Structure 1
Amino acid sequence: HNYAAPPSTKVDYPSSKRAKLESNGRVLKQISNNNRRCSSPRSSDSEENDKRRTHNVLERQRRNELKLSFFALRDQIPEVASNEKAPKVVILKKATEYVISMQEDERRLLREH
């Protein structure tokens, strides 16, 4: 979620258009539900729930690992190491700047010796 973005504005359709959109939404939901049932008739609801739960756990682990990796990267970049609330994009930009700076320092030192 982008907290810096302005809040989204809700479009208020006239009641006739709203009713049409809602009925179309119901039809689309029914079609997608029917397709889901047809694609795996042997799969029970509990199996689908288990798959969804497993997927959710794996996704949560992936997000947590990504978060920890950003923290580790942030802690290596002097300009943002002390900022616990540094946004990911800032961490990436400052990391890029830091690597470029280190490469320039390395080239300069190699030229001096």
Structure 2
Amino acid sequence: MTDLPATFAALADSTRLSLLEKLIRDGELPAGALSEGAGISAPAISRHLKILRQAGLITQRVAGTHRYYSANPQALAEIHGWTRNHRAFWEGSLDRLDTLLALDPEEEEDR
């Protein structure tokens, strides 16, 4: 199971979120491809990738001198499950609020 606080802390940084989104969109990529167009140095990208790996959001595969990264589907599924559960709570709360707001104010005074 993913450590959700660490997961969300890792995703709170816009660079790390962008890296993860690129991996989700493009699939497995070498480190060099992730640093292209990022606007930051390769060592900085490496630090961000380390944090994403430690949070369990990405995996690393080593082939010779190359490192390849990919999104971890299990971690993404756990995030999805967490948000789905909280979405149900908030939708129910908002439905109850809509019902309350739709009541006639004069009826409310009689209660």
What is the TM-score when the length of structure 1 is the normalising length? 0.29
Point out which structure has higher relative CO (alpha carbons under 8 A, 6+ apart).
2
Q: Which has the higher helix share?
A: 1
Q: Normalized per residue, which structure has more strand?
A: 2
Q: Which has the larger radius of gyration?
A: 1
